[in-house]
A and B are shown apart, each in its own frame.
Chain A
Amino acid sequence: MRKVAIVGIGHGKFGVRSDASLRELVFEAVKACLEDAGVTLDEVDSMVTGVACDEFSFGIQPSAQVHDYIGFYPKPNYRVEAACATGSVALRTGWMNIVSGLADLVLVVGVEKMTEVSTSVATEIMGRAGDAIWEYPFGTTFPGYYAMIANAHMAEYGTTEEQLAMVAVKNHYYGCLNPYAHMQKEVTLEKALTSFPVAYPLKLYDCSLITDGAAAVLLASEERARAISKKPVWMVGLGLATDTLRLGDRRSLTSLSAAREAARVAYKMAGIGPMDIDVATVHDCFTIAEIVAYEDLGFCEKGEGGKLIEARETYVGGRIPVNVDGGLKSKGHPLGATGVSMAIEITKQLRGEAGSRQVKDPEIGLTHNVGGSGQIALVHIFRRE
C-alpha cells in the first residue's frame, strides 16, 4: 500500500465570522496550507471538500462554491459529508485518492459557515442528526442526545456534573493558548456548573460552540512528501465504523460502539495500542463525549473517564494529553472543518510547532471524530519519522 503524509496545514480563524462567506473562509485556509507546504495550487492533482449541511451552505454542491472561488478547475473536486465527522471523511477520501494511485498531491478542505442562520434554526438542523421520523417528534436536539448519554453514564458509573465541568475548564484553558480558537476565555468550575441548562444535565459550558471556520491540509504520496516536506506526518492508521441511526437501538447508551470499532481497526492497522498514543484530539461536542471518548479509545477502563479528567491526566504533562488545542468545546465546532482541524493540531504537535501548548516530544498522535449521535466515527493515527 502507498504511504500518505500530511505535508501542509492551514487553519483559518474559528469564530463568529460575520465578516466572511463560506468560500472566503476556505480561501484563508487554502492559502495558509499551500504556503506551509511551499507548493502552488497548480501542482495539486485533486481536491476533496467536506461540508456537513446544505442548509448552512445555501446550495447543493457547496464544493463548487469552493473550487470556483479558489480557481481550482477543471481538476477533480467533490463534496463529502458525514455530519460532524465530515472533516475526517474528507481526509480519508483524500488518503484513498493517493493510495489508489489516482493522485499524488491532494488538497483536503473542511468548512462550515453556521452563523448565517439563527441559533434556533441551527439547533433544529443539527437536531436532525438523529432520526427525523422517530426521534425528532420528541423535540430532540443534538445536546439532547448527549444529555441522554450523560444521564445513563452518571447512573451506571457515578460520573458527576463536576467531572463534566472539569472537561470544560481544561478545554477553555487550552483554547486561550490557541490563537485560532473561537473562545479565548477561561472558565472556572463554579461558573461552568452554574451556567444555564441546555439539556439536563448539560449546561451552557458543557456544549461546543456554533462556529464558522475552515481548515485545509495537503496530503502527499511518499515520493512527493519526501521532496516537499522536512517533517512529513504519516497517516498510519485509519478506522471508520458505523452504528444505528437511533440512540434507542444502541447496545450501550454509555459508549459509542462505532468509535470503539473505529479505534480497534485504526490501532490494528498502525500496529499499536492505546498506551502508545502521546497526544490526542477527540470529539468533545459535549463534555460527556470527551469522557466517553477516553473510555472508547482505551485511554482508561470503561466507567473511569470521569476520574481520568479529575486526576488531570489529560492535561499537558499528564498520561495522555487530550484536546490541548481547546477541542470543539473552546476552539469551536464548524462541522465540516472539525476533523481537518483535529489533524492539523496533531500535525503541529508531532512537528513540535504547538508553542505554549506543546506536548513533550510526541511521536504518535490520534484523532477521534464522531458524526451525529454516534452513527459514524473515524479514528486516525499519525506518526512522525
Chain B
Amino acid sequence: MEFKNFSLFINQSKVARFTKDLAEGKIMSTVCKKCGRQYYPPQADCFSCMESEMEWKEVPREGRLLTFTRIHVPPEHFAVRQPLMPFSSVQFEPCPIGLIEVEKGLKIMGWIPKVDIKKIKVGMKMKASPFTLPDGKLTIILEPLNP
C-alpha cells in the first residue's frame, strides 16, 4: 500500500505506513516517546524535544464539526472532463469536506458524503472513518452521529 494512495502526489515519507493502517481501518497519529506530544497528521519527528523516537497511536474518531465547505470549482486533479460527445454535458455534484475536533487540538479533515449541505452545521457531532474509494485510493470520511 503506497503512501500516494492517500497523499496523491507525494510517495516518499517516513510516515508512509499511515496508509497501510488506514487500509486496515485505523486512523493513526504519532506520539513522542520522550515528551508524549501527539501529532495528527503524524510526524516522524518531535519539534518539542527535537527527538525522533515516536510510537504510533490510534486517534479518537468522534468529535464536533469545526467548519466545512463544498468546493464547486475543483482543482485540475479533481476536475470533471467535458465529454467528447456533442450536445452532452456532465452534471457535477461536488462532495462537501469538513474538519472535526476529536480532542483538544486534534483535528481530522474528511469528506462529508451523502449529507445535504443545508443540514451540515458547525458544532454537529460527527465520526471520522477510513474509506476505500472505487479506484483503490484511501481517504477519510466524516459521518453525522445520531442523525
Contact = CB atoms under 8 A, between A and B. Distances in A.
Contacts of B95: 139
Nearest to A251: B105
A136 B76 contact: no
A200 B115 CA distance: 14
Contact of B67 (A127, A132, A151): A151
Given A133-B13, A135-B109, A155-B122, A149 B75 contact: no
A139 B96 CA distance: 10
Contact of B75 (A120, A148, A197, A198): A120
Interface in B20-56: 41
Given A139-B97, A140-B97, A247-B99, A253 B76 contact: no
Nearest to B74: A139
User: Does more than half of chain A's interface fall in helix, strand or loop, or is it mixed?
Assistant: helix
Contact of B96 (A149, A198, A200, A248): A200
A138 B109 contact: yes
A152 B69 contact: no
A163 B90 CA distance: 33
Contact of B73 (A132, A136, A199): A199
B117 A200 contact: yes
Among B9, B72, B108, B111, find the residue whose CB has the most chain A CB atoms closer than 10 A. Answer: B72
Q: Interface residues of A toward B: which range? A: 35 or more
Contacts of A253: 66-67, 99
A352 interface: no
B67 A196 contact: no
Contacts of B69: 144, 147-148, 150-151, 199-202
A136 B9 contact: yes
B75 A143 contact: no
Interface string B1-21: 000001111100100000000
Contact of A148 (B67, B77, B78, B117): B67
A104 to B, nearest CB: 40
B145 to A, nearest CB: 18
A258 B68 CA distance: 22
Interface in A119-165: 119-121, 123-124, 127, 132-141, 143-144, 147-152, 155-156
Contacts of B79: 120
A19 interface: no
A38 B41 CA distance: 54
B78 to A, nearest CB: 5
Nearest to B72: A197
A143 B96 contact: no
A148 B13 contact: no
A12 B132 CA distance: 50
B109 A152 contact: no
A42 interface: no
A152 B122 CA distance: 7
A249 interface: yes
Nearest to B121: A155
A364 to B, nearest CB: 35
B41 A133 contact: yes
A139 B109 CA distance: 11
Nearest to B110: A138
Given A152-B67, A196-B72, A137 B117 contact: no
Of A136, A138, A139, A156, which is in contact with the most chain B CB atoms at under 10 Å from its CB? Answer: A139
B107 interface: yes
Give the 6 A-B CB pairs with smallest separation, nearest first. Answer: A124-B75, A155-B122, A147-B69, A248-B107, A124-B76, A152-B67
Interface of B: 6-10, 13, 41, 66-79, 94-97, 99, 105, 107-111, 117, 121-123, 139
17 contacts: A118-B76, A133-B9, A136-B9, A137-B6, A137-B8, A138-B110, A140-B97, A143-B71, A144-B71, A148-B99, A149-B67, A151-B122, A197-B72, A199-B70, A246-B41, A247-B99, A248-B109
